Structure 1
């Protein structure tokens, strides 16, 4: 859809188009003409959308802050799931994973060699030495946010602690690459470079994703891409960065039994942190962590 220069801008800012998004849209057009992959307008969030995801993100952050004190030796992952569910409802939200494509729980809890999508259970108890990823996705007033953190249970080996630390460093380095007119591949390049330099591998088949109006949107975010490739980063894009860093091989497999649980192929530990980020005119805003 074309906008007249004196029309109110499509983004909802209330400004005339010529004073708001004309320059950005023209720049996107130039990149497209040069053959670069660029987002379409439906992938760019309006002012109202950004506010909505930001509000959802605040609740997602609060949920991860809240659950941290309960990640202790002996607790079942089912109890953690129930606490997340109740707290989400208290905050006026909805657990986005509950019922999503048949997923049965309100949160993903992945322990040690489980890379992602670990299903909470009364039969699974955290124990001393475990490293645990808790991945929360929240719907608030129809808007989605998504983030995860790693937790160390009791006395964790130095090897596992280092893996958790490097995974966090990979995420933070990736976030630093988020800037207008950069590329998604810039994120993947720094993540894989740092992980490999530290002696670890990066999961190739699972990546970040757009988020905001639904749980998974375009673009897909590779954590092993090359700089200067992939979609152009444009103000208004919202997506997750969530590198999964393995101590051993990058290969993973998905459980045939439940269709969800992803584990490392060699049984070695994996660690992951996740943030939801917004590309701004000046750089990046972290909406959920």
Structure 2
């Protein structure tokens, strides 16, 4: 069942989504070679507590951390660990905060230092595809229109692997609500979009094949061919004419540009 939000509820969700963006901006300020993803997890845990929130991910279906930290060929759900990050790593951070009864959660992919032109393009195109999908998140369109726009820009145009098993979703009092939002599909199909449904749109795009596998921990999902993957996610409220993006990448990008360890050449 699709749950529509009131304007006051959307305002709360925008506050929470912005807090997630602020957390990702704090991560962007400090990312450097030698840092561990467990240190990032601790930073975000402290931020959430300081803002009187609940870490949405911790304990969700038994998940044991506050964030997902997915490096290189890890698509999503990577466990934070003690392994030092290094130049050439591609790091996706996905996290959420629950406050005042509602969830804010989204993801961003960072590039550490120099990477190949192919990887740089993957990150650029994945981020672009998110906005292609958001353009279709307006009243009167269908879920398939969002899915098609993402697939068209990534798989059909660049030959990337669009993960099938993992999809975006509705967002509200729970992290996963109806409807599911795939990153592949046909125009004009799926549920019709009406105003005030909130979606987490999140292309997960592989440099190589679309196939993935799950590690023995039951969470960490990797590309089957070992090639890198990129993941971007926005919280979006469906409106007439133009979608309302609740999260804010501009503050993350501004922070990235202040950190010489991060590669922002694809959008700077």
TM-score by length of 1: 0.83
Quote how far apart the aligned CAs of 1:87 are: 1.0
Counterparts of 1:1-289 in structure 2, within 5 Å, are 43-122=3-82, 124-196=83-155, 197-255=157-215, 257-289=216-248
Please give the alpha-carbon distance, in whole angstroms, between the structure 2 residues aligned to 1:280 and 1:172. Answer: 15
Q: For 2:121, what is the secondary structure of its paired residue?
A: helix
Shift of 1:242: 0.5
C-alpha RMSD of matched pairs (Å): 1.2
Separation in structure 2 between the aligned mates of residue 55 and residue 247 of structure 1, nearest angstrom: 34
Paired residues of 1:60 and 1:137 also in contact (CA < 8 A): yes
Are 1:233 and 1:279, in contact at CA under 8 Å, matched by a contact in 2? yes
Distance 1:219 1:125 in 2: 38
How far residue 194 of structure 1 moved from its aligned partner, in angstroms, is 1.1
Q: What residue is the counterpart of 2:264 in the other structure? A: none
Q: Please report how far the alpha carbon of residue 181 of structure 1 lies from its aligned counterpart in structure 2 after TM superposition.
A: 0.8
Q: Any runs of at least 4 consecutive aligned residues in structure 1 with deviations exceeding 3 A, and if so which? A: none
Deviations 1:8-42 (A, max 9, x none): xxxxxxxxxxxxxxxxxxxxxxxxxxxxxxxx5x6
Number of residue pairs aligned between Structure 1 and Structure 2: 247
The offset of 1:92, in angstroms, is 2.0
Partners of 1:70 and 1:254 in 2: CA distance: 30
Is the 1:98–1:105 contact (alpha carbons within 8 Å) kept by the matching residues of 2? yes
Q: Residues of 1 paired with 2:84 and 2:54: CA distance?
A: 25
Deviates more, 1:153-162 or 1:165-174: 153-162
CA contact (8 A) 1:105 1:120 kept: yes
Task: State the SS of the aligned residue for 1:288.
Answer: coil
Larger Rg: 1
- In 2, distance between residues paired with 1:267 and 1:145? 31
The 1-side partners of 2:94 and 2:197 are apart by 21
In structure 2, C-alpha distance between the alignment counterparts of 1:66 and 1:128, rounded to whole Å: 19
Alignment partners' CA distance in 2, 1:165 and 1:281: 28
Secondary structure at the aligned position of 2:70 is classed as strand
